[in-house]
Amino acid sequence: MRLCAAQYIRMSTDHQEYSPVFQRQAIAEYARAHNIRVVTDYEDAGISGLTFRQRPALVQLLPDVENPKRKFSKVLVFDVSRWGRFQDVDEAAFYEYACRRAGVDVIYVDESFANDGSPATSVIKALKRAMAAEFSREMSRKVFLGQCLNAQRGFHAGGPPGYGLQRILLDGKREQRRPLGQYEYKSMQTDRVVIAPAAASEASLVRKMFEWYATQSVTGAGIARRLNEFGPRNRHGRPWQAQNVRRILRSEAYIGTNVYSRTSSKLDGKWEQVPRHDWIRAEDAFEPVVERRVDGDNHVGRCSGEGFGR
């Protein structure tokens, strides 16, 4: 009697050899060799294996396994890392056990061990799960170090630019290609992105904010009221709020300083504030919108608690 199975495919961004096409081919070859028919498909494409909640296909697979009307008795997966790179290796084991408890075996088609439930196999799988988790930790560290290096070189490390700023795409030779729109991103690995002053009208308005703040006794809320009285709206077409203005006044990007790693979230953990002395800062990284000084000895953004870095 021919067995029926579901296949689980997960493609992240770490290695192209784990492409969905490659995984499907390997699973199909295994299924043919073992007289198995694949009847159901679950795919998480372009998704990290760190967490369960952000993988809709795996989230759907587990209740389907519990359904007595399911049409499969096996789940075919390329290898242990495709099942997940959970930082708690017991989590990966738990999801596999949930399938087995419901009468569905999880089979890793590209692994050398036989998934027979023996003590030796259990040890090997635990080791593989630990290796998959360590791979994610090592990749996270390398990516972070690479982003820090790019930030030190003056390249934009991500996130939307502030009002009065824009992102500029550079090629591998650091030659300017074009400005990037709101939802546009670099596509070539050798391309880089830098920050530059935006349209003259926006840049002029930002300079006016700094001038008011540096030379007059006015707060962010007061500046927002002035702007709303004059009529100009923020980039989203909405009235100015005090927090919008304070965000601009606190940002060193307007004096050409590239700042990175003020907050951190490692391996899908909680976002945390990074101590100021650990920030990555590159002064004069790009063309400033405002000068460091306004009206003589008054330092821009350092007149009160609303200034840079506060």
Predicted local confidence at residue 254, as pLDDT? 92
* Within-domain flag for 290: yes
Contacts of 240 (CB under 8 A, 6+ apart): 223, 224, 227, 228, 233, 234
* Within-domain flag for 36: yes
Predicted local confidence at residue 4, as pLDDT? 95
Q: How many domains does the chain have?
A: 2
Residues 222, 131 within the same domain: no
- Of residues 70 and 279, the one with the higher pLDDT is 70
pLDDT band with cut points at 50, 70 and 90 for residue 285: confident
Break the chain down into helix, strand, coil percent, rounded to 5.
40, 20, 40
Contacts of 120 (CB under 8 A, 6+ apart): 113
Beta-carbon neighbour count of residue 246 at 10 Å? 20
Average pLDDT score, the chain: 84
State which residues form the domain around 98.
Answer: 3-139
pLDDT digits (tens, 9 = 90+) for 161-193: 889 999 988 887 777 788 888 777 777 777 888
45 - beta bridge partners? Answer: 11
Domain end point (choices 92, 112, 139) = 139
The domain that contains 88 carries what CATH number? 3.40.50.1390
Domain end point (choices 104, 139, 174) = 139
Contacts of 278 (CB under 8 A, 6+ apart): 261
Residues 214, 288 within the same domain: yes
The domain that contains 209 carries what CATH number? 3.90.1750.20
In this structure, of 11-15, 33-37, 87-91, 159-163, the range with the lowest mean pLDDT score is 11-15
Query: 291 near 205, Cβ under 8 Å?
Result: no
pLDDT digits (tens, 9 = 90+) for 245-268: 999 998 999 999 888 887 777 656
pLDDT band with cut points at 50, 70 and 90 for residue 215: confident
Residues 44, 133 within the same domain: yes
What is the distance between the alpha carbons of residues 50 and 62, in angstroms, rounded to a whole number? 17
Predicted local confidence at residue 15, as pLDDT? 52
Find the mean pLDDT for residues 206-211: 92
231 dihedral zone (left: phi>0; alpha: psi -120 to 50; beta): left
In terms of average pLDDT, the best of 16-30, 93-107, 180-194 is: 93-107
Residues 218, 103 within the same domain: no
| CA nearest neighbour of 23 among 8, 34, 37, 12 | 8
pLDDT digits (tens, 9 = 90+) for 138-169: 877 877 788 888 888 888 887 888 899 999 88
Predicted local confidence at residue 59, as pLDDT? 93
Predicted local confidence at residue 47, as pLDDT? 66
Domain end point (choices 139, 154, 184) = 139
Find the mean pLDDT for residues 293-302: 47
Q: In which residue are the tokens 């170090």 written?
A: 145
Residue 90 phi, psi dihedral angles, 5° rounding: -70, -25
Predicted local confidence at residue 146, as pLDDT? 82
